[in-house]
Structure 1
Amino acid sequence: MSGTTAQPTPPSRTTRTRSWWGWGWADAHPDDAECAAMGALVPGTLAHPLPVPLVRDLRIAPPAVIPPASLAHLVDSDPGPRASHAMGKAYRDIARALRGRPGRIPDLVARPTDEREVADLLDWAGEHRVAVVPYGGGSSVSGGVEYRGDAHRAVLSLDLTSMGRVLEVDVPGRAARIQAGALGPDLEDALRPYGLTLRHFPQSFEFSTLGGWLATRAGGHYATGRTHIDDFVQSLRVVTPAGTSASWRLPASGAGPSPDRLFLGSEGALGVITEAWVRLQERPSHKASAALSFTDFDAALRAVRAVAQSDLSPANCRLLDAGEAAMSGASHDGSAVLVLGFESADGPVGGRLGQAVDLARSHGGRRDDTPYAQDGAPADAAVGAWRSAFLRMPYLRDGLARMGAVAETFETAATWDRIPELVEEVRREVGAAALKASGHPATVNCRLTHVYPDGAAPYFTVIAAGRPGDEVAFWDDLKAVAGDVLHRHRATITHHHAVGRDHRPGYDLQRPDPFALALKAAKGALDPRGILNPGVLVD
């Protein structure tokens, strides 16, 4: 192919150790003193942090199945890898691990290196009633990478990270063919020499894979434009028990229902995504950012709507309510904060930022006269504080969990006419439920992470003292209250965190019945033995 180069990049190696039970790197977690200091800020938490859980303290039974000699070299049965593949990284996963109750641990972890090996593993699993749970970086926060139940003889975690190469880069066409197991940093490192980027940066970027983003229809960091990974896909290759699906690489097509749309968001229940052609863009060289404060959150919502409905297309348009702004250090006076950011590979973006700031000011936004942070200049203090808190927050959540606190998030999306009342009802009803269940007040904050001309994606943070030893059930109760509010307002059960097992009740209510029938039929045709990620999307 003219203009296409091979790029056989191997998966990266690092000497740092991933935490088996918590978020990210094991050496980045708060120590006992930091945990205790955070717990002191949440009334009703434990006096001392729960100990960091150890794999050796788990009762891990020997594998219930033994793979044939032809597959043995792909499979690991050691306790450490099995425990680290048992769950994702949601609060309920962390809380279960801290209490020594991680759920069903996979019998085996397989790491195929090509599609033939994926197909062979699926064939063997189907013949021996082994459930197969596709696994990328393991950053699922909706129960998407664990097995629940006992309908299968054994469980195989299918880890795709040994298939993590950038195979081809089409520079003139600004696209690349990339294996599904490529982790975010490795993918971007391989594209950097070409001056190109995928420009998809979820909070889990460091610990998630292209295949995981595709299988969950993941949202990235950017607030407008191409907010979801769907928008970057040219074609997919997917291995199913019924055969391999390979769509054509095209800029666009009107030829019937899109085959890629069947597998985007399928969460490994219909097939194993092995590679994709994805659209790239030039790396931005011009950036500018600013922050504005608002005393009135409803006025701030109107400001954000005005920016979203303009043609300015900010890369970042993140509104933090007063509680979220205070928690991140972006505000100390009870104000809500709007973080705006622009970027481009073509030229300076200060003019567009100035127009967005003027729009926000016309709705009551306040900003001092300091110059905009742009093209390498120091960021606004509020912008810098928010960025630091954004990356650190998952580690702090785990520290609070060690103190017996519930510290979790959930997100949704709704049209602009529903947003103000939706946000208010979630705050009120989840807060009341937490107080009634625990006797202690809860903090319920909100931020807007993605904005569209017709609506926005509110993202909620809940922090409360949990019921000692019963933290998971306590959170499940709060999540059910939140789900009821979302359903009343016809807000989606998830904007970008996937359905998994945790969101199934809300997803079943949201999807039309005829579509549910079609999805079940597709599952039956592609996975007739029901081995692929059982319990996700369909029964």
Structure 2
Amino acid sequence: MAEAAAPRTHRTRSWWGWGWADAHPDDAECIAMGALVPGTLARPLPLPEIADLRIGPPAVTPPITLAPLVTADPAARASHTMGKAFRDVARALRGRPGRIPDLVAHPRCDQDVADLLEWAGEHRVAVVPYGGGSSVVGGVEYRGEEHRAVLSLDLTAMDRVLEIDTADRSALVQAGILGPALEDRLRPHGLTLRHFPQSFEFSTLGGWLATRAGGHYATGRTRIDDFAQSLRVVTPAGTGTSWRLPSSGAGPSPDRFFLGSEGALGVITQAWMRLQERPAHKASAAVAFADLQAALQAVRAIAQSDLVPANCRLLDAGEAALSGASQDGSAVLVLGFESSTAPVEDRLALALELARAHGGTTGKTGADAPPDAAVGAWRSAFLRMPYLRDGLARMGAVVETFETAATWDRIPALIDGIRNGVGVAARKATGFPALVNCRLTHVYPDGAAPYFTVVAGGRPGDEAAVWDELKAVAEDVLHRHRATITHHHAVGRDHRRAYDRQRPEPFALALHAAKHALDPHGILNPGVLVGS
């Protein structure tokens, strides 16, 4: 059963910052936030204008056969220059966005993608696949010099649900569909993909697959990998589609080869995705802990049980205060359960018992009680935080997050190492103290994914460089503790140094060989995963 194309929204995306252009803090709110961070500016930086970039003509002209797919419009080129990391926002605010694409293409089908790749290979044009543009690791910008021109390959015109198989609970979906549109197409069938990253509103299925994105849910099937049944990928060497199967032991998985490849090996154009029935039963509560170490033990106990909470996020005292979940110095555990088949209050009650056994204290729970106030506060802050980050960036603050994952035995020392290392580095770089908070976003029986928030004053005009210095310190701490450079944000260009240190050398050799075989001209997202 095929579905119609997704409807277009009439709101305007911000070209320089996160999300909707009309949702950013105004000047007064920026000033109020800046007053809370030592070392910030007296007044916010002005909103950047595309006209100030003085975008010149493209270095190449596409052939007449491809012209209908391609634009050189300055606004389109500016909005496809960078992702949405702090360093992207800081550079845009200072009028230094980096290499602006010469052209932006909107292919409508697999053949369009193949034709664009063939032309680009013949003319030394770098091709940067682009979904929603929400990368926070430099995954959608070009930083090299060896290519004649840059083409941003925007997949969002390929946004259809091609088929829904209700018997198998799966759907064939084009890669350019945005999260809300996909859920709108599945909702009439009582189905959901159940993948809700923070960027859900502004990211695409193809982007999730290409970056091995993690969703909002904290346990169980947390990654997009778990939902991918079959992929179709267009490469300069040809197009291939894996078989749609519930499982297979036939050699290395072709799907896992392209999952996480970030557009460097091929362009994912469509996928069969495993679906679920929409949840009908939900319950949530918050638990306060006076001691973070006790809270970590509680979360480990819950993760190693068979309860499988949908949400199991532990906020340290600083993160709880920042989100409004607690103001008394307590760490807060946000717990949530859901099911499509049966009530979940019993599972929530058992999880709360485990939390209390480790020193946690709880508020109201139960089917008739409203969600705990801390839960609601956290949810609101979770969605609003990227906009507030951009408001603080306008005040010259350094505000960014990074995430990792490690085994339980390393988590306590890792958290302390990041707090101390980044805190010292921030004072050295700026002369002001930094706020370094931590939360656990995903938990597993054998470990967890700590997610760090850093807020510090900047050096006026040099904010992106300050963050680069702090991130380099953080990377070294992660490496010492054998914690991954990324749990769900992907590698991009910002994490290349750490990724090269983390991956085994034989795997690196195989990846280089695969890149050469599939992309002989080296045009696909140069600098990501392999190469310069």
Kept in 2, the 8 Å contact 1:318–1:449? The answer is yes
Shift of 1:6: 2.0
Task: State whether structure 2 residue 419 is matched by structure 1 residue 427.
Answer: yes
User: 1:181 & 1:15 partners in 2: Cα distance?
Assistant: 18
Shift of 1:273: 0.2
Q: Match for residue 455 of structure 1?
A: 447
Task: State whether structure 2 residue 147 is matched by structure 1 residue 152.
Answer: yes
Equivalent position to 1:319, from 309, 314, 320: 314
1:78-97 equivalences under 5 Å are 78-97=73-92
Q: Match for residue 535 of structure 1?
A: 527
User: 1:315 & 1:12 partners in 2: Cα distance?
Assistant: 30
Cα offsets for 1:248-307 (capped at 9, x unmatched): 000000000011111000000000000000100000010000001000000000000000
Amino acid at match of 2:90: A
Equivalent position to 2:292, from 297, 306, 310: 297
Give RMSD over aligned pairs: 0.7
Q: Match for residue 371 of structure 1?
A: 365
Cα offsets for 1:34-60 (capped at 9, x unmatched): 000000000110000000101011121
Q: Which runs of 5+ in 1 are unaligned?
A: none
Shift of 1:149: 1.6
Task: State whether structure 2 residue 116 is matched by structure 1 residue 127.
Answer: no
Q: Match for residue 392 of structure 1?
A: 384
User: 2:245 & 2:8 partners in 1: Cα distance?
Assistant: 34
Kept in 2, the 8 Å contact 1:45–1:466? The answer is yes
**Helix, strand or coil: the match of 1:427?**
helix
User: 1:123 & 1:452 partners in 2: Cα distance?
Assistant: 43
Kept in 1, the 8 Å contact 2:230–2:241? The answer is yes
Task: State whether structure 2 residue 26 is matched by structure 1 residue 13.
Answer: no
Q: Which runs of 5+ in 2 are unaligned?
A: none
Amino acid at match of 2:140: V
**Helix, strand or coil: the match of 2:65?**
helix
Kept in 2, the 8 Å contact 1:413–1:495? The answer is yes
Kept in 2, the 8 Å contact 1:412–1:457? The answer is yes
**Helix, strand or coil: the match of 2:255?**
helix
Task: State whether structure 2 residue 355 is matched by structure 1 residue 360.
Answer: yes
Cα offsets for 1:434-485 (capped at 9, x unmatched): 0111110000000000000000000000000011111111100000000000
Shift of 1:12: 2.3
Kept in 1, the 8 Å contact 2:161–2:174? The answer is yes
User: 1:217 & 1:105 partners in 2: Cα distance?
Assistant: 26
Shift of 1:11: 2.6
Q: Match for residue 503 of structure 1?
A: 495
TM-score (norm 1): 0.98
Kept in 1, the 8 Å contact 2:105–2:153? The answer is yes
Name segments (4+ residues, structure 1) moved above 6 Å.
none
Q: Match for residue 478 of structure 1?
A: 470
Kept in 2, the 8 Å contact 1:11–1:161? The answer is no
Kept in 1, the 8 Å contact 2:284–2:365? The answer is no
Shift of 1:367: 1.2
Q: Match for residue 329 of structure 2?
A: 334
User: 2:248 & 2:211 partners in 1: Cα distance?
Assistant: 23
Amino acid at match of 1:334: G
User: 1:245 & 1:77 partners in 2: Cα distance?
Assistant: 30
1:341-356 equivalences under 5 Å are 341-356=336-351
Task: State whether structure 2 residue 437 is matched by structure 1 residue 445.
Answer: yes
Equivalent position to 2:247, from 252, 257, 270: 252
User: 1:169 & 1:343 partners in 2: Cα distance?
Assistant: 24
1:24-43 equivalences under 5 Å are 24-43=19-38
Shift of 1:106: 0.1
User: 1:380 & 1:59 partners in 2: Cα distance?
Assistant: 51
Cα offsets for 1:91-133 (capped at 9, x unmatched): 0000000000000000000000000000000000001110000
**Helix, strand or coil: the match of 1:339?**
strand
Amino acid at match of 2:365: P
Shift of 1:378: 2.8
TM-score (norm 2): 0.99
Task: State whether structure 2 residue 512 is matched by structure 1 residue 520.
Answer: yes
Amino acid at match of 1:41: L
Amino acid at match of 1:59: R
User: 1:291 & 1:162 partners in 2: Cα distance?
Assistant: 41
User: 1:437 & 1:195 partners in 2: Cα distance?
Assistant: 52
User: 2:54 & 2:437 partners in 1: Cα distance?
Assistant: 38
User: 2:300 & 2:464 partners in 1: Cα distance?
Assistant: 36
User: 1:476 & 1:410 partners in 2: Cα distance?
Assistant: 12
Shift of 1:371: 3.1
